[in-house]
Amino acid sequence: MKVGILGATGYTGQELLRILNNHPEVEVVYIGSSTSAGKKIAEIYPHLTDTSLLILENEEVPDVDLLFIALPHGIAASRAEELLARGIKIIDLGADFRLRQADVYEEWYKLKHPNPTIIKDAVYGLPELYRQEIKDKNIIANPGCYPTASLLSLVPLLKAGFIKKEGIVIDGKSGVSGAGRGMNQAVHFSEVNENFKAYGVGEHRHTPEIEQQLGLAAGSSVIINFTPHLVPMTRGILVTIYADIKGEISDQELRNCWQDYYAGEPFIHLLPEGIWPQTKYCYGSNHAFLQLKYEPRTGKAVLVGVIDNLVKGASGQAIQNMNLLFGLPETTGLETTGLWP
């Protein structure tokens, strides 16, 4: 397959290159950047020595089988029709196709949607939930990082009716790379090091994305409390979720629900009882780790999930989606385990 990456100099763009470098069925023939055209990618990311012959080009996309768009919201939707007309499949790592309603997108992203009519042509690219739908689509909306960790934890239990849709609280923590590569005082070393803070309280843009998918799982509207936090580390997301249980239930019944739902899933790992997920378990890999505990005293289940925000939360998941689109085993190019320590 001949693939291109638009926005190759961002963290998700370079992560796509790193992983695709080991993909046996892919040739990266185009990497685009509006600010670095003419440079070798290895001048910006010297660790990408095997791709040093690749020269960054402008945003004039050549004919490719698939284009990854790793750019801020508002760009993918404005270019999608022209790309699709040329037979190019799109995996958008931004937010333009994640929300089904343009007015919700405009409310949360403070931007008029460039092409509302095309939203219906996209599928939400979380393979563990929408594998069959992904195979037949030309536009994939790659999920956000917080939503990926949250939905993997919650959807099976919500679909099974084990937890109430009211009162769900998601406490998320992310490494600094989630903020991207751009200059931002809030993520300078001296601001982040030896510090820990909440941000986007009550207004984080991933909130409607999580609510939309939970509502589809529950069959009706779901409102959540979601608070993200910035952790002084580079990679990783950990979500701790509190959900009220319906009726009498045991830890094992909840675990059985997860086990049944994720049976055979290559990237989802349910940890043995008493072992709680750590971000290092999935560092640099496309794997997710889950654990839970029911607290009869409070009537709540505590769910914990971890992913690497740049891999399963972005570029690795995009490649998993690409594999589905082209009929390849989902694990192709993604067999790497997490780095430890």
All domains in the chain, ordered by first residue: 2-142+312-325 (3.40.50.720), 146-309 (3.30.360.10)
Burial of 307 (0-12, 13-18, 19+ CB in 10 A): buried
* Cβ–Cβ < 8 Å for 64, 30: yes
Q: Give, for 169, the enclosing helix (H) or strand (E).
A: strand 168-174
Q: What is the pTM of this model?
A: 0.97
pLDDT band at residue 56 using 50, 70 and 90 as cut-offs: very high
Asked whether the beta carbons of 170 and 226 are under 8 A apart, the reply is: yes
- Count CB-CB contacts under 10 A for residue 65: 17
329: nearest Cα among 270, 282, 281, 264: 264
For the segment 324-341, the average pLDDT, to the nearest whole number, is 96
Classify burial at 182, counting beta carbons within 10 Å of its beta carbon; exposed 0-12, middle 13-18, buried 19 or more: exposed
pLDDT score for 52? 59
pLDDT band at 279 (very low <50, low <70, confident <90, very high): very high
State the catalytic residue, choosing from 64, 71, 145, 176. 145
pLDDT of the residue at 183: 76
pLDDT at 187 over 90: no
Distance from C-alpha of 126 to C-alpha of 147, rounded to nearest angstrom: 10
Provide the mean pLDDT of the chain.
96
pLDDT score at 157: 98
Q: Phi and psi at residue 298, in whole multiples of 5°?
A: -105, -15
- Is 282 assigned a catalytic role? no
* Percentage of the chain exceeding pLDDT 70: 99
pLDDT at 53 over 80: no
